[in-house]
Structure 1
C-alpha cells in the first residue's frame, strides 16, 4: 500500500474527501498524564492505514491531555490528525484562540462537537461552559476561514483554512430532529460527518437514502470494537440511543476468544458500511492496536 501520508501534504484527508475516496479514520485517546509514548505508539500502528487519526477532547467528560497538543505531536510524527474541539470547557474567546493556535501549528482537520455533559465524567463538580454548541462552533470556524472573528471583526493577521467536520447519529429516535440538525450543520459549513457507533445498518441505509443523499458530504459510519459480551451490555446501558442486538451479544458470549470475535464483527460491519456510505470511523477504546488487524479482516486500507 502506498503511504497515504506523503510528507509534502498537510491535508491528505481533505484531498481524499474531495476525490470521493472511501475514507478511513480511527480514534486514539490522549494520555492522562505527561507520558505520551503509548498514544504515539497506537497512532503509529495506523500510519499509512487510515486517512487521519481522531484525537478526543475530553470524551465522556473524562480528563485527558489537550487534543490540540496531542494533534500537534502526531503531526510531528508524520500522522495526520483530526483534532476534536468541544464547547463544554471553553468560551468563544478560548475556542477562537485555540483554533488560531491549531492552524498556526499545522492542524487542518477539526471535528466540531458540543461535548458530553460534565456530570457524566470524572469531575462532576466542574463548571461547564457551553458558550457555544456544535452548530455555532461550525459557524465560527466558517467565519474564521473567511477572515473574521465571532463578532465579525477582521482577523488582522490572516484568515484560517480549517477543514471542519461534525458528528451525526443516524439512530436518533427523532427523525425530524436528526434531519433538522444535520441540515443545520451542513449550512454551517460541515465538510464531513463521523457517526456515532452504528448497530442498525438498516437505519443507516434509510438515513443515507432519505437524508444524506441530498447533500454531497461524506458520512463515515461509526464502527465500535466490542471486546466482550459484558462490554456490549455496558455500552447498551450507558450510551444513549445505542442498542447492540442480542445476536451480537450472543456471538461474543459463546466465543472462546471474545476479543477476536469482536474484531470479526467490526470487520463485517465495515464491509456493510462500505456498500452504504463513503467511509468508516473506527473506535477501539483501549485496544487501538487491534484496528490495523480489523482493517485487514475487512480487506480495506490496502
Structure 2
C-alpha cells in the first residue's frame, strides 16, 4: 500500500532542522568559518562523493557542491545538495549562470528554498571551451552580480521583473567568489564592492598562495564591508600537481619554494597536508574562515584542520 504524503506542516518542520542553519548561525556568532568543496559525481552513483562528504560532517560548517566547475559535465549541484542535506550535512549550492537563463536560475533558486537548501554561491561560471563539451552553447544570460541582485529580489518577494511572488519570498543566504590575487587591484575592488551592494553575505576565495596579497586585500578592501571572507586552501598532492595548476588555472602562481618542497619530500602527499595546514594557520590570522579544496581526497581535510589546530565545529542551533 502506498504511504500517504506527509502533511505540509510536517515537511516544514523537517526542512527547518538545526543543521539547515549551522553556517548562518556561525556567521552571526562570529566563529571561524570552515567550508569544504566536493564535486558531484560524473555518472549515476553518488557513493564516492557521499563517502568523501561524510568525512567532513563534523569538521565544517557547510559543504560546497560545485556547479559544472571548469565546464565539465557532472551531476546537478541542486540534486547533490538535497542528497547531502538528507545525510545531515549542510550544503552550499553553487549556482552558475553559464548553463541557464534567468528563468531557469530563478526556478532552481525557488526549488532550493523549497528543499531547505538555504545557502547559495552565485557564480558566473567557467567558459565552455575549458570543459569537455567545447561545442556546447553557453547561455550567460546573467553574470554573478546580476544573479546576486535577482536573489535579493526573490528574498524580498519579487521576481526578476520586480513583480510580486504570489506564493511568498525565498529565504536564501547568498555568497560570492573573490580572487584577492587578481592582477587588477581596481578591478578587484570594484567587483567586490558591487557584489556587496548586490547582497553577498559571505565570500569564498580562489586558491590562495600569496598571503601578503590576502592581507592587503583584507586591510584595504574587505574589512570595511564587514562580510566574512573565507580563504581558499588547496591540498597539493605532489610537485607535478602544483605545476599542473600553474599551467591550467588562470591567476594562480604557486611559488617555486612550495613546488621544490613537494619535489624533495619523501612523501609528497603528507608534505602537501603540512603545507595546507600551515596555510590554514596563516589564514586564521587574516580573515574569518577557510574554504578547503582537496579534489577526490576530501577525507584528508579533517587531518589538515586538526594539524592546523582547528577543532570540530560546534553544533549550533537554528536561528529563528
State the TM-score, normalized to the length of structure 2. 0.92
Distance 1:247 1:159 in 2: 51
The 1-side partners of 2:292 and 2:67 are apart by 16
How much does 1:9 deviate?
4.1
Select which of 50, 75, 80 maps to 1:40.
50
Residue 285 of structure 1 aligns to a residue whose secondary structure is coil
Question: Structure 1 stretches (4+) deviating beyond 6 angstroms?
Answer: none
Structure 2 CA distance, aligned partners of 1:86 and 1:130?
9
Q: Deviations over 1:3-36 (max 9, x none)?
A: xxx9534211011111111000000110011100
The residue that corresponds to 1:242 in the other structure is: 252
Secondary structure of residue in 1 paired with 2:18: coil
Contact in 2 for aligned 1:252/1:258 (Cα 8 Å): yes
Matched, 1:227 2:237: yes
State the Cα distance separating 1:301 from its structure 2 match.
Answer: 2.9
Higher relative contact order (CA 8 A, sep 6+): 2
Out of 150, 157, 160, the residue aligned to residue 140 of structure 1 is 150
C-alpha contact (below 8 Å) 2:19/2:90 kept by paired residues: no
Structure 1 SS opposite 2:217: helix
2:41 to 4, 22, 31: 31
Answering whether residue 53 of structure 2 is matched by residue 53 of structure 1, we say no
Partner of 1:191: 201
Structure 1 residue aligned with 2:107: 97
Give the superposed CA RMSD: 0.9
Q: Give TM-score scaled by structure 1 length.
A: 0.97
Contact 2:19–2:89 (CA<8 Å) still a contact in 1?
no
Instruction: Give me the whole-angstrom Cα distance separating, in 2, the residues matched to 1:221 and 1:209.
Output: 14
Aligned partner of 2:121 among 91, 111, 119:
111
Greater C-alpha radius of gyration: 2
Task: Confirm or deny that 1:262 pairs with 2:257.
Answer: no
Whole-angstrom CA distance in 1 between matches of 2:39 and 2:103:
26
Q: In 2, are the aligned partners of 1:139 and 1:189 still within 8 Å (CA)?
A: yes
Distance 2:62 2:287 in 1: 17
CA drift at 1:146? 0.1
Q: Is it true that 1:123 corresponds to 2:112 in the alignment?
A: no
Aligned 1:70-89 pairs, distance under 5 A: 70-89=80-99
Q: Is the 8 A contact 2:38 2:65 kept in 1?
A: yes
Is 108-117 or 32-41 further displaced after alignment?
A: 32-41
For residue 208 of structure 1, give the secondary structure of its aligned residue in structure 2: helix
What is the DSSP-based 3-state SS (H/G/I as helix, E as strand, rest coil) of the residue aligned with 2:292? strand
Question: How far is the alpha carbon of 1:299 from its aligned partner?
Answer: 1.2
Contact map agreement 1:50 1:301 (CA 8 A) in 2: no
In the alignment, which of 135, 153, 171 is matched to residue 181 of structure 2? 171
Q: Give the conservation status (yes or no) of the 8 Å contact 1:223–1:280.
A: yes
